[in-house]
């Protein structure tokens, strides 16, 4: 007669004494991996159907498992499920409850699989769904940017390099720059999703299984594009999660840059935009304050997402094949990246369409800083002057403007002609802000007509689902 296991674990037969109470709590992951419950049950249901298909379990046993798992799912979603730390993780909690509900048939569910390929499958199912949600939020934010860009396609603002006034652009053109950054983010995530959507189930612990599993059938049930090709790699691979965290870090870096500009623009020193009150807070001591908390918080949260990427890379850097307990530590940084990214994108998608632009303040700022100096140089080049000579001429004109406190457009023709006789009456067409903006009308240029054309192209692409 066999001895009774020293502990009530589904794997406890090998052990002669129970797990230390502290170690049990220290090694448990159910506190955070329980969010995988839907994906764990989905994977188990598909696995059971496949086992019945290949004759490892009977159709009747499969139906019992399906019913039991459905009841457990309903119990979890109703908030009536007790998660046990002693059962370590989401997988063992669900399996133990299944055995409790349907008896020995429940013990057959784990045939032909290991927690190693089970958790790898669960994470991929979870991340695939999360990516789809994040892609939708990116598109929603892009739609908001297109609406704002179209509304402000003719609003002139100063363009900056080194945070110094450079050349006039339009606010619509600036918003389309943000759109392009998000377009690359969207493409990266779509590409990442392809590598997420590979099924490791059937790899078992590390070396496959002798059962006649139909992995392609399981993959079809779960919506995976293909199955993994190497069992060792399949159970230990976390490249897909690292890649997602890298894409997430880039998205958050872009949102942080957007945030920085909004924070500057909303300040009294710039006064370019007004953020909706519902996305701002006040001060406990200064009644006049309207703090841009959402952009500031998104800018701050970028650090934790970047940190999650470093944590994931460090986690994997020295692991031998195949699965190691270290990999339990992949979930918290991954989950945090998903949550932070989804929340930040949602906040921006909700906020951006309601940004109010202060066009007069932008135009006044664009009139300062000699924003049309390059246009004057290009004008002289069009008259036949070499660019380096034109650069010198305009530099001397700017020096006069600095000394007298006037913009180039505020100087008279005779004053400008002292720097070059090539300057004629038509110079004032390029020294106006609208003239300057309209002159740069190549594809991707600042001219309102080009901005609107780009918006139309972008709307068509988003509508087509590309």
Q: Considering 58, 84, 267, 283, which one is annotated as catalytic?
A: 283
Structural domains in the chain, sorted by start: 21-111 (1.10.275.10), 116-364 (1.20.200.10), 369-447 (1.10.40.30)
226 strand-pairing partners? 198
44 carries an active-site annotation: no
What is the total residue count of the chain? 466
Q: Which pLDDT value is given to residue 434?
A: 86
Query: Please, what are the averages of pLDDT over each run of 10 residues along the chain (466 residues)?
Result: 50 62 84 97 98 98 98 98 95 97 98 97 98 98 98 95 93 96 98 98 97 98 98 98 98 98 96 94 84 96 98 97 95 98 98 97 91 93 96 96 93 94 92 84 76 93 87
Cβ atoms of residues 295 and 254 within 8 Å: no
Long-range contacts of residues 161-166, Cβ cutoff 8 Å, at least 24 apart: 164/369, 165/365, 165/366, 165/368, 165/369, 165/370, 165/371, 166/371, 166/374
pLDDT of residue 22: 81
Classify residue 44 as exposed, middle or buried by CB count within 10 Å of its CB (0-12, 13-18, 19+): buried
Choosing from 2, 82, 162, 284, which is the catalytic residue?
A: 162
What span, in angstroms and rounded, lies between the C-alpha atoms of 286 and 312? Answer: 42
Q: Provide the CB-side half-sphere exposure for 147 (13 A, CA).
A: 14
Map tokens 């396609």 to a residue.
153
Let me know if 283 is a catalytic residue. yes
The alpha carbon of residue 424 and the mean position of all alpha carbons in its chain are separated, in whole angstroms, by: 52
Q: How far is CA 51 from CA 56, 60, 205, in A?
A: 5, 12, 17
Q: What is the 3-class SS of the chain, one letter each residue?
A: CCCCCCCCCCCHHHCCCCCCHHHHHHHCCHHHHHHHHHHHHHHHHHHHHHHHHCCCCCHHHHHHHHHHHHHHHHHHHCCCCCCCHHHCCHHHHHHHHHHHHHHHHHHHCCCCCCHHHHHHHHHHHHHHHHHHHHHHHHHHHHHHHHHHHHHCCCCEEEEEECCEEEEEEEHHHHHHHHHHHHHHHHHHHHHHHHHHCEECCCCCCCCCCCCCCCHHHHHHHHCCCEECCCHHHHHHCCHHHHHHHHHHHHHHHHHHHHHHHHHHHHCCCCCCEECCHHHCECCCCCCCCCECHHHHHHHHHHHHHHHHHHHHHHHHCCCCCCCCHHHHHHHHHHHHHHHHHHHHHHHHHHHHHHCEECHHHHHHHHHCCCCCHHHHHHHHHHCCCCHHHHHHHHHHHHHHHHHHCCCHHHCCHHHHHCCCCCCCCCHHHHHCHHHHHHHCCCCCCCCHHHHHHHHHHHHHHHHHCC
Instruction: Report the pLDDT value the prediction gives residue 443, as an integer from 0 to 100.
Output: 64
Is it true that the peptide bond before 63 is cis, omega within 30 degrees of 0? no
- Whole-model pTM? 0.92
């Amino acid at each position: 007669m066999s001895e009774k296991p020293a502990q009530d674990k589904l794997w406890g037969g090998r052990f002669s004494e129970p797990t230390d109470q502290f170690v049990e709590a220290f090694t448990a992951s159910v506190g955070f991996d329980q969010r995988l419950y839907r994906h764990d049950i989905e994977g188990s249901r598909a696995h059971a159907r496949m086992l019945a298909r290949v004759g490892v379990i009977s159709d009747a046993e499969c139906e019992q498992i399906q019913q039991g798992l459905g009841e457990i799912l309903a119990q979890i979603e109703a908030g009536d499920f007790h998660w046990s730390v002693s059962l370590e993780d989401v997988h063992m909690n669900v399996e133990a409850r299944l055995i409790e509900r349907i008896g020995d048939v429940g013990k057959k569910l784990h045939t032909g699989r290991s927690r190693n390929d089970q958790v790898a499958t669960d994470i991929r199912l979870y991340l695939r769904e999360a990516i789809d949600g994040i892609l939708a939020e990116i598109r929603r934010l892009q739609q908001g940017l297109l609406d704002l860009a179209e509304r402000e396609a003719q609003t002139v603002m100063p363009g900056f390099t080194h945070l110094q006034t450079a050349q006039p652009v339009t606010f619509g053109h600036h918003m389309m720059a943000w759109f392009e950054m998000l377009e690359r983010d969207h493409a990266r995530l779509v590409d990442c999703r392809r590598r997420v959507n590979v099924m490791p189930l059937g790899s078992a612990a590390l070396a496959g299984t002798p059962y006649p599993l139909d992995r392609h059938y399981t993959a079809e049930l779960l919506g995976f594009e293909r199955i993994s090709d190497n069992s060792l790699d399949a159970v230990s691979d976390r490249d897909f999660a690292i890649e997602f965290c890298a894409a997430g870090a880039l998205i958050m870096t872009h949102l942080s840059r957007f945030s920085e500009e909004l924070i500057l623009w909303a300040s009294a020193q710039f006064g370019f935009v007004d953020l909706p009150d519902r996305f701002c807070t006040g001060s406990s001591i200064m009644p006049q304050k309207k703090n841009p908390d959402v952009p500031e918080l998104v800018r701050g949260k970028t650090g934790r997402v970047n940190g999650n990427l470093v944590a994931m890379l460090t986690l994997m850097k020295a692991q031998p094949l195949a699965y190691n307990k270290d990999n339990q530590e992949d979930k918290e940084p991954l989950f945090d990246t998903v949550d932070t990214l989804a929340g930040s994108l949602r906040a921006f998608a909700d906020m951006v369409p309601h940004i109010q632009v202060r066009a007069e303040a932008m135009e006044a700022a664009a009139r300062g800083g000699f924003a049309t100096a390059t246009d004057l140089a290009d004008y002289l080049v069009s008259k036949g002057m070499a660019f380096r000579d034109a650069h010198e001429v305009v530099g001397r004109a700017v020096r006069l403007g600095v000394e007298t406190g006037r913009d180039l457009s505020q100087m008279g023709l005779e004053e400008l002609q002292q720097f070059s006789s090539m300057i004629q009456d038509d110079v004032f067409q390029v020294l106006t802000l609208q003239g300057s903006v309209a002159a740069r009308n190549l594809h991707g240029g600042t001219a309102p007509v080009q901005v609107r054309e780009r918006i139309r192209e972008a709307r068509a692409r988003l509508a087509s689902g590309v």
